[in-house]
């Protein structure tokens, strides 16, 4: 009986391992190909299945189809980071959009969620339901109203047209409020009896107990706006102001030799966030009840 359970467990482990390899295959391909020369990439991706002849030279065929670069070179990274100054400029453009949205959304989410938590207004749950309804609307349904409002405010050709809707995104309020509801309300009542004001309660009692949810919100917001495409296409016409996500789609159509190194540099900040804060991300989402 124990042997059968062990065999089933090993089979499940093998299946999960194979699924993980399949999921990670594009990422592995991107990373390994970023260390190849442009000529080697051109040969590998221009070769047809009929070009490989296993009967003539199996070893040579393996070299042409394997992921391991031969030889390993940093020429693609040098071409992207040194010989193309526009790449770093567009990288800075992405940070100009992402960082204000992340910080602003966190501040608004904390203040609004605290108001929904401690307020005694009888209609607050209905108002919160409206927040959830807006959160569930797809981007395509709200981007036109955002464009009209941005045009009325005369900011449609600036980063503010992207940053302001991002700061007031309802997802952050939902995530933080669900975690706040799990905190004992007795803490707030005791602090008020001692004479503490709402801002003091929020800064010294609520926030220290919500580090995981705050970290999760920052990571999710950063990654979402780091990868924006639709908003940038609609609101930004100037090439010099475009984020890096738009540049990559255009680079893939022109120079395949640089796209892998550029993609690796582009992936670095989100991957760093995920690996360094994975524990906080999992705990924050678990505490908020988001499935």
Give the model's pLDDT for residue 291: 45
- Counts for the chain of helices (H) and strands (E), in that order: 16, 0
Could you read off the pLDDT of 134-185 as tens digits, one per residue?
888 888 888 888 899 998 998 888 899 999 999 998 888 988 888 888 888 8
Domains of the chain: 2-77 (no CATH), 85-288 (1.10.3720.10)
Q: What is the 3-state secondary structure (H, E, C) of 9-62?
A: HHHHHHHHHHHHHHHHHHHHHHHHHCCCCHHHHHHHHHCCHHHCCCCCCHHHHH
Mean pLDDT, residues 1-19 = 78
CB under 8 A, 24+ apart: contacts of 143-148: 143/230, 143/231, 143/234, 147/234, 147/235
**Which pTM was predicted?**
0.81
Give the model's pLDDT for residue 191: 85
SS3 label, residue 236: coil
Give the model's pLDDT for residue 15: 84
Give the model's pLDDT for residue 41: 76
Please give the mean pLDDT across all residues of the chain. 81
Could you read off the pLDDT of 62-104 as tens digits, one per residue?
555 556 777 788 888 888 888 877 888 888 999 999 999 999 9
> Which pair of tokens denotes residue 49?
């299945």
Give the model's pLDDT for residue 101: 95
> Which pair of tokens denotes residue 81?
């980071």
Distance between terminal CA atoms of the chain? 35
Mean pLDDT, residues 193-216 = 87
């Amino acid at each position: 009986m124990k042997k059968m359970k062990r065999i089933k467990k090993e089979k499940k482990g093998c299946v999960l391992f194979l699924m993980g390899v399949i999921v990670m295959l594009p990422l592995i391909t991107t990373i390994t190909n970023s260390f190849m020369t442009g000529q080697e990439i051109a040969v590998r991706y221009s070769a047809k299945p009929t070009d490989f002849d296993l009967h003539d030279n199996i070893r040579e065929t393996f070299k042409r189809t394997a992921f391991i670069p031969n030889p390993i070179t940093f020429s693609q990274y040098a071409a992207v980071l040194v010989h193309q100054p526009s790449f770093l400029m567009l990288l800075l453009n992405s940070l100009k959009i992402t960082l204000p949205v992340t910080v602003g959304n966190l501040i608004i989410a904390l203040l609004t969620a605290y108001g929904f938590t401690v307020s005694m207004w009888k209609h607050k749950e209905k108002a919160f339901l409206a927040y959830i309804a807006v959160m569930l609307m797809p981007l395509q349904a709200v981007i036109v109203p955002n464009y009209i409002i941005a045009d009325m405010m005369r900011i449609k050709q600036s980063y503010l047209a992207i940053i302001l809707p991002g700061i007031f995104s309802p997802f952050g309020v939902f995530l933080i409020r669900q975690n706040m509801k799990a905190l004992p309300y007795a803490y707030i009542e005791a602090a008020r009896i001692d004479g503490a004001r709402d801002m003091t309660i929020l800064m010294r009692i609520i926030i220290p107990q919500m580090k995981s949810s705050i970290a999760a919100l920052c990571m999710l917001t950063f990654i979402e706006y780091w990868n924006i495409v639709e908003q940038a296409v609609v609101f930004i016409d100037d090439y010099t102001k475009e984020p890096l996500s738009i540049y990559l789609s255009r680079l893939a159509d022109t120079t395949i030799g640089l796209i892998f190194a550029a993609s690796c540099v582009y992936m670095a900040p989100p991957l760093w966030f995920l690996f360094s804060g994975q524990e906080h991300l999992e705990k924050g989402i678990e505490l908020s009840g988001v499935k």
